[in-house]
Structure 1
């Protein structure tokens, strides 16, 4: 029996505020611990820790036996794409700021919407969504201008921004794979395990095979960062998101999730003293507006309709 999902309330807002703060902090955590543990090793270890915890949860729930046979292909592909996402994040943070990464990474809904538009007739884009895509790509162009200081030719920042955008593409492609395969019907914990487990194997394999390891210093900051990323971000916060999805309307949750890049930019400025140029701020606002229109076009249409009716009275 399907459970009626509730609209937004105070409890949802408080939990989403906490989740968005956690997600917005993860790029800053990687950046802060980078002098002690290389970003690629950090994201590999966090995936391994979270995969172990999710795997134990699946064994306890016994919810995987009937799904392995029909989901493993999609699961492997989703895991590869998930690993690529964090590969691009880790490499990108070596060149650009955490605040830039937070904005470019969250272009993922744009790429998932385009992919689903091509694959699923039920996911055809509406006019308002195409407007959002135009705003988003316009914002990306403006924000990229912030990364290219033509006087100093700071191409490293531009490369980091491009890697952040590639991470958003990989994240969007992961969503397309999940939505267009049997994974859309499987227990969410199994889908999460595929993503975490495969990405752990690939990322750790890359780290071990790519040459001599950079010196690792297991300082309290490094240990705390990896544990927080693995337990709090990749395990607890993702499970909390799935738990909320079973109880609240996804559209309302998607609207609230746009606080994440705002937290990411704020933490980058406050904790890492990252500069913000006017170009980047304008571009980021356009990107967020575009993502809002693409992901929540039905919600936006309803609000616009209500405003028109109120204006006619």
Structure 2
């Protein structure tokens, strides 16, 4: 396994852990802050970090084609705007652990979409890795779904669970669409564009909420939470994820999304004090086993960085996210 592979795996794992923390942060946000207003503020904070970093690459913005802009717009709408809206509204009735359980389905969703849209081949080892991640999801969810957890008396509404499932579909679409622009748009430019487009989508709704919200009642903790959401969950996590995805296949990236529920469940225990279950620990082990299967497969295969959408000329991927 070469250095580029190790870097990609570390980037994907780090991004997934940060995204997993967004579920816990989102649970607190959904209960105390208006959804659109809080997200607009967090995205504005992310842009304050991203714009200075991308200024040196400003010429790249001028070279973006209409196709690239359309794909970036789709990433912003499906993978950031819809994902956050659906996730945060779903968390108003579902627990953070339950949300983490459902995000475990992301590997299977990405793998399926990569076969359909990117024509990637599912090898036996990769299939086994995805199945391990799916089994991990089932184990993590066992206490809640079977009613054996101490909080099973207060199940989430079906509407909330469906909203989170829809958010998972948006997250999977983000990874697939990113693969279509990975060779022509650098991770840093892609992250900045997606964040900017998402901010513009949230802005009109956030202004309407701000009029109806008593902003003087906001606490320092609320401001810190929105700042964390912007700088770490948005800027840093998406930089790492876009950079990692540009170096590996979509199917490989799919299994690394298994780190998201593990991060969510662990943080739910420590931060939100949600009840512990041994089934969650066993599920986390299966997720890690799935990641190991994909990593072993990649040791014997070249990085797919030269993989291009049909009809496009291959180009060297830019460094940085």
Question: Normalising by structure 2, what TM-score?
Answer: 0.71
Report the equivalent of 2:316: none
CA contact (8 A) 1:104 1:168 kept: yes
What 5-or-longer segments of structure 2 have no aligned partner? 302-321
What is the deviation of 1:269?
0.6
Count residues with an aligned counterpart: 290
How far apart in 2 are the matches of 1:43 and 1:232? 13
Residues 94/189 of structure 1: CA separation in 2 closer, same or farther (3 Å cut): same
CA contact (8 A) 1:178 1:184 kept: no
How far apart in 2 are the matches of 1:280 and 1:187? 37
Residues 98/204 of structure 1: CA separation in 2 closer, same or farther (3 Å cut): farther
How far apart in 2 are the matches of 1:95 and 1:212? 25
Report the equivalent of 1:225: 225
1:151-190 CA-to-partner distances (Å, cap 9, x unmatched) read 97744255444433332221111111121x3454212222
Report the equivalent of 1:310: none
How far apart in 2 are the matches of 1:137 and 1:8? 24
Report the equivalent of 1:311: none
Report the equivalent of 2:297: 298
What is the deviation of 1:19?
5.9
Report the equivalent of 2:200: 201
List aligned pairs for 1:55-134, cutoff 5 A.
Answer: 55-62=51-58, 63-82=60-79, 83-121=81-119, 123-134=120-131
How far apart in 1 are the matches of 2:67 and 2:290? 35
CA RMSD between the two structures: 3.9
Report the equivalent of 1:173: 173
How far apart in 2 are the matches of 1:223 and 1:106? 29
SS in 1 for 2:63: coil
SS in 1 for 2:218: coil
Are 2:190 and 1:191 equivalent residues in the alignment? Answer: yes
SS in 2 for 1:80: helix
Report the equivalent of 1:265: 265
What is the deviation of 1:263?
3.1
Question: Normalising by structure 1, what TM-score?
Answer: 0.72
Report the equivalent of 1:43: 39
